[in-house]
Structure 1
Amino acid sequence: MLALKAENISKQYRLGEVGTGTLSHDLNRFWHKIRGKEDPYLKIGEANDRTTKGDSEYVWSLRDINFEINQGDAVGIIGRNGAGKSTLLKLLSKVTKPTTGKIYSQGRIASLLEVGTGFHPEMTGRENVFLNGAILGMTRKEIKRKFDEIVDFSGVERYIDTPVKRYSSGMYVRLAFAVAAHLESEILIVDEVLAVGDAEFQKKCLGKMGDVTRGEGRTVLFVSHNITAIKELCNNAILLEKGQQIMQGEVNRCIIEYQKNSQVKFSYDYLNHPEKVENDKIQVKSFITEPIAGDMINIKSGVRVTVTFMSKLENVDIDLSFFLKNSHDLTVMSTGLMVCGNKDAEKGDYTVTFEIPPYTINEDSYYFDFFWGINRSEIAFRTEAFGFEVNGMQNQFGEIIKSPGILFPQIIHKIEKV
């Protein structure tokens, strides 16, 4: 049974203006409408790319989004900043209307889009529970029945009769989430508000949302940059990029596709790349990943990582460490070594090679955090721009072979002064 359906929904904004346009624009739209013609301002506008300076004063925050979400699904909305994630949730929550398209929903929607949405700062926590619950569609009888449970979950019982203007942002979000999560709605929409809470509260919220989907069969839409939380909570995902829908489907596939599109460099040569990876101490000259054996990287071949960099320093100790992360932002491996272990180190080029043994890491996309340390203390350089992709292998039954997950493999290091 469908819970939500979006048909060709788009949202256009006019930059630098409050509202959708001027009186002349509204009259022009009306004139085209009574003549049975298309809105002229739907034909203009640019994609929402914040990294480039556009020519149009109109921007499409979302363009031609189509999806169907079944009842009981937990769906993660993922994408980079400015992809249109929050705009999509506002449209689904009916906070704002789409410029084009239609949204169909089955059941009551509870949304938590910003910290303390619907809270009045002069009112106490107790009063705001009733106020916010009423805004979300709960009856007074329903709020009374759930009040103790809401306060217990929020953990602010001691301050429940204190005006919320004296609450910290963490206390705000605790109480606001507790109200929304305990509303007996069919659909729960949660934006990136959990980033405000501490680690214990985030874990508690994720557990509650898991109970909502798996235990109560309600539908959850969840926006977060915490890829691990998306993977743990959601079974499906929607990937957005610059207002466009890239894909919808199984959460792991969407996460891997998101990682592929996140500007990870699978190889790099500073002579041929417009963006130089350097600072005033270290310059990365090249980076390459290749199979130790065979023609392509897979779990059987192993991976050889070669980094060539130029040190702009002398008479210092230089050490290099890397942390290997998978597409879910989990660190799966780390290692480090001393590049120059004496005070007579000279300026120049160095090549460092790491070899990750076969059957150590599984099919996935991976990227690095690199750290160049100076005299064992100062971090000289860090980048998350380098990575590689591992392809799985199938056995005779067509099943993907899985790595045994060696925790501390013997990683081979090699250092050369060029």
Structure 2
Amino acid sequence: MKKDIILKAENISKQYRLGQVGTGTLSHDINRWWHKIRGKENPYLKIGETNDRSTKGNSDYVWALQDINFEVERGEVLGIIGKNGAGKSTLLKILSKVTAPTTGSIKSRGRIASLLEVGTGFNGEMTGRENVFLNGAILGMTKKEITSKLDEIIEFSGCERYIDTPVKRYSSGMTVRLAFAVAAFLEPEILVIDEVLAVGDAEFQKKAIGKMQDISKGQGRTVLFVSHNMAAVKSLCTKGLVLVNGCVAMTGNVENAVNYYLSHDSESMNKKVFSSKYETNEFKLHEISLNGVGKLSDEPLNEYQEIEINTLFTLKDSSKSLHLTFVLNNDSGEPLFTFSHSNSNLKIKEGLNRVKCSFPQGFLNVGTYYLSFYVIEDAKSTLFVENDIMSFIIQEGERPIGSWMGKEPGFIKPKFEWSIKDN
């Protein structure tokens, strides 16, 4: 069966010059022109470094994107994921024709509507109603077509009371509500959305996610969706594309793409093996790992799992009464709570020990956490301490379409007992 390809990216690369606005010096421009009239390649395409924001480079040129190739079928929802600075927004700007690629080409069939930043394409001096007509005209709609959809757009946005007020008076949330409604209801063949839903409140997120589902499944239109919210990506998207330092690391099933992205995040890990530095006369620490029950330590942890923390160590002297103690800290370095095996009936034997501690199902909220590790003797003397010995991420679990997709307040989510008492 022949594929119905609606969007195709071929060898897309984007080069930027660092530190200055423009393409560079006059000599660079003359050099480019001289090569061009002789039918030769731009000489500056051969230089430049990988798009890694965490390292200092030696070149004035950087490749924000390099050799991007993918295709999207009609009706697909493609989730584009990656760390900050990976090139996601640059790619969407090229796909939306806001900026041109340095090399490569984009082939699309149909209108593309983009929602890249809050207020993109809106004129602050014009009213919300006038901006609807302006954006519709930019998308190639006739005034009659826009008018037929106007009431639906206004109702969906929830901005009816302010629709004849200049957009510069709107909050960022109101602006993105109206912008999304325009992009969704004016029926583009391809809808491009870049993280703007994070600005909206819970009610708007539910409506927007549901509307995107309708657009793709019900109307057979194509959506390109960038988000750091993995629950929204997994719930909405059918396919995933992972960007790392401006290059495509993988494409495929959205579940596999999200797992790849989270498991290859070098800034955190669920398993750590320790060197001889973590050894005293009394004990030697070998390994700490975390996993969901029935899962491996290299699989992502989510908010609905029961989580096990396994500590592998050797006790050298059984006469010593040693206790393993952890402090769990949030990403701001604030301690959330302390837990120790001294509060259990567990007896550590001489030799190799593997001690397991389990957190109840759904106990930790979405976020990044840090473990500090202590070895305590006789419940009073600290023999060893290592702050932030390892970190781990709790990601969003599967949530039904239409439910709240954001992070709930707090760091833990204990399941308390609830009941109704008879009067």
TM-score, normalised to structure 1, is: 0.71
Q: Is the 8 A contact 1:79 1:240 kept in 2?
A: yes
The answer on whether the counterparts of 1:322 and 1:368 sit within 8 Å (CA) in structure 2 is no
The letter for the 2-side match of 1:354 is: K
Q: Does 1:268 align with 2:272?
A: yes
Q: 1:293 to 1:171 in 2, by over 3 A?
A: closer
- For 2:310, the aligned partner's letter is V
Determine helix, strand or coil for the equivalent of 1:385.
strand
Task: Say if 1:303 and 1:109 are closer, same or farther in 2 by CA, change over 3 A.
Answer: same
Partner of 1:217: 220
Question: Which residue of the partner structure matches residue 261 of structure 2?
Answer: 258
The 2-side partners of 1:265 and 1:293 are apart by 17
1:75 equivalent in alignment to 2:78: yes
The Cα shift of 1:140 comes to 1.0
Q: What is the deviation of 1:367? A: 9.4
Q: Within 5 Å, which residues of 2 pair with 1:9-408?
A: 9-263=12-266, 264-268=268-272, 288-289=288-289, 305-306=310-311, 320=327, 338-339=339-340, 353-356=355-358, 369-370=369-370, 385-386=391-392
Moved over 4 A (4+): 269-273, 290-294, 296-299, 318-323, 335-338, 381-384
Aligned CA RMSD, in angstroms, stands at 3.8
Report SS of the residue matched to 1:114.
coil
Q: Secondary structure at the match of 2:391?
A: coil
Partner Cα distance (1:293, 1:116) in 2: 45
Relative distance call for 1:272 and 1:165 in structure 2 (3 A) is farther
In structure 2, how many angstroms separate the alpha carbons of the residues matched to 1:122 and 1:272?
66
Task: Kindly provide the amino acid, as one letter, of the partner of residue 392 in structure 2.
Answer: F
Residues 367, 385 of structure 1: 8 Å contact kept = no
Matching residue's letter, 1:89: L
Matches of 1:352 and 1:201 in 2, distance apart? 47
Q: Which amino acid aligns with 1:385?
A: S
8 A contact 2:48–2:59 mirrored in 1: yes
- Residues 84 and 114 of structure 1, relative CA distance in 2, 3 Å threshold: same
When residues 131 and 166 of structure 1 are mapped into structure 2, their CA distance, relative to the original with a 3 A threshold, is same
Aligned to 1:312: none
In 1, are the aligned partners of 2:310 and 2:355 still within 8 Å (CA)? yes
Find the residue that maps to 1:386 and give its secondary structure. Answer: strand
Compared CA separation, residues 149 and 321, structure 1 to 2 (3 A) = same
Task: Give aligned pairs, total.
Answer: 336
Contact 1:292 1:304 in 2 (8 A): no
Task: Give the one of 2, 8, 28 matched to 1:5.
Answer: 8
Distance 1:198 1:383 in 2: 36
Among all aligned residue pairs of Structure 1 and Structure 2, give the percentage whose two residues are the same amino acid. Answer: 58
CA deviation vs aligned residue, 1:189-219 (integer Å, no higher than 9, x gap): 0111111111211111110000000000000
Q: CA offset at residue 352 of structure 1?
A: 10
Match of 1:327 in 2: none
Contact kept, 8 Å, 2:371 with 2:390, in 1: the verdict is no
| 1:133 Cα offset (Å) | 1.8
Give the 3-state SS of the residue equivalent to 1:222 in structure 2.
strand
Out of 259-268 and 70-79, give the one that drifted further.
Answer: 259-268
AA aligned opposite 1:202? Q
Contact 1:297 1:303 in 2 (8 A): no
Which deviations, in whole Å up to 9, do the C-alpha atoms of 1:317-367 show, x marking residues without a partner?
x984599xxxxxxxxxxx97644999xxxxxxxx9943459xx99xxxx99
Contact 1:369 1:382 in 2 (8 A): no
Alignment partner, residue 282 of structure 2: none
Q: CA deviation at 1:386?
A: 3.2
Shift of 1:146: 0.4
What is the alpha-carbon distance in structure 2 between the residues aligned to residue 196 and residue 270 of structure 1? Answer: 42
CA contact (8 A) 2:81 2:228 kept: yes
* Structure 1 position 167, deviation (Å): 0.8
**2:391 counterpart letter in structure 1:** A
Change (3 A) 1:298 1:271: closer
Determine helix, strand or coil for the equivalent of 1:87.
helix
Q: 1:306 to 1:83 in 2, by over 3 A?
A: same
Does the 8 A contact of 1:46 with 1:54 survive in 2? yes
SS in 1 for 2:21: coil
- Name structure 2 gaps, 5 residues minimum: 278-284, 300-306, 314-324, 331-335, 344-352, 373-386, 395-413, 416-423
Higher mean displacement: 129-138 or 69-78: 129-138
